[in-house]
A and B are shown apart, each in its own frame.
Chain A
Amino acid sequence: AQKVTQAQTEISVVEKEDVTLDCVYETRDTTYYLFWYKQPPSGELVFLIRRNSFDEQNEISGRYSWNFQKSTSSFNFTITASQVVDSAVYFCALSEFNNNDMRFGAGTRLTVKP
């Protein structure tokens, strides 16, 4: 069975601090994809990144970076120099080969204070 755990329910930081959102997943498959989505107060899920299970290279996009470690089944997301506009709920999700559903974690609510 698929399972995605985002242990941090809520995180609050002050602007310009770095923050890491944790994601741990469980799967028996060797072929899978991992995703991160952002859900701002408007409610629409915004795609951030997709990573397949065969690509463990870390990725950086501006102030965002992702650390994928199969050895610990984790796909953590770091925001560097956080900004107020980063305030949102962030979801990690897993998609297994031959499964049509994407399994989401419960989300982490990030609040960035000015």
Chain B
Amino acid sequence: GAGVSQTPSNKVTEKGKYVELRCDPISGHTALYWYRQSLGQGPEFLIYFQGTGAADDSGLPNDRFFAVRPEGSVSTLKIQRTERGDSAVYLCASSLTGVFGETQYFGPGTRLLVL
């Protein structure tokens, strides 16, 4: 079966622009997570979806970041008015039910570069 997929794999944008990053989780997984990984660091949690709703968005750095998952499957991470500091790899993960301690399976990430 297919794993987690993310598009685009790379995105270059200019400061101030709007970007959308897409995640397609493993089929049947109800839980979906977004992480951000800066160079030389481990992934940092951004937001967690259980089904269609954002169950925990405590990791979003500010209100320029927003994510949706309207049908409980594909999710889109949206960044408004991008800044150079937003440059990072954005990782998506999914797990079967979202129960505590469940293994999360990661996609290949989207590498975002803000010029």
- Give the number of A-B contacts (CB < 8 Å): 61
Could you tell me if B42 and A44 are in contact, using CB atoms closer than 8 angstroms?
no
Residues of chain B with a CB closer than 8 A to A98's CB: 100
Specify which chain A residues have a CB less than 8 angstroms from the CB of B56 in the assembled complex. 100-101
- Say whether A105 contacts B100, CB under 8 Å: no
* In the complex, chain A residues whose CB is within 8 Å of the CB of B59: 101
Residues of A within 8 A of B108 (CB): 42-44
Q: Looking at the complex, which of A13-21, A45-53, A59-67, A76-84 is the stretch in contact with chain B?
A: A45-53
- Residues of A near B1 (CB, < 8 A) are none
Please tell me if the beta carbons of A104 and B44 are within 8 angstroms of each other in the complex: yes
- Select B40's contact among A47, A100, A106, beta carbons within 8 Å: A106
B55 lies within 8 A of chain A by Cβ: yes
Bin the interface of chain B by size.
20 to 34
Chain B proximity of A32: nearest CB distance (Å): 8
Is the interface on chain A under 10, 10 to 19, 20 to 34, or 35 or more residues?
A: 20 to 34
Contacts of B106 in A (CB 8 A): 37, 44-47
Q: Once the chains bind, are A44 and B40 in contact (CB under 8 Å)?
A: no
Interface string of B8-49 (1 = CB under 8 A from A): 000000000000000000000000010000001111110010
Contact with B along A67-99 (1 / 0, CB 8 A): 000000000000000000000000101010110
Contacts of A102 on B, CB cut-off 8 Å?
33, 43, 45, 104
CB nearest to B107 among chain A residues: A44
Contact A101 B42 (CB under 8 A): no
Give B contacts to A, CB under 8 Å. Answer: 33, 40-45, 48, 55-56, 58-59, 89, 91, 93, 98, 100-101, 103-109, 111
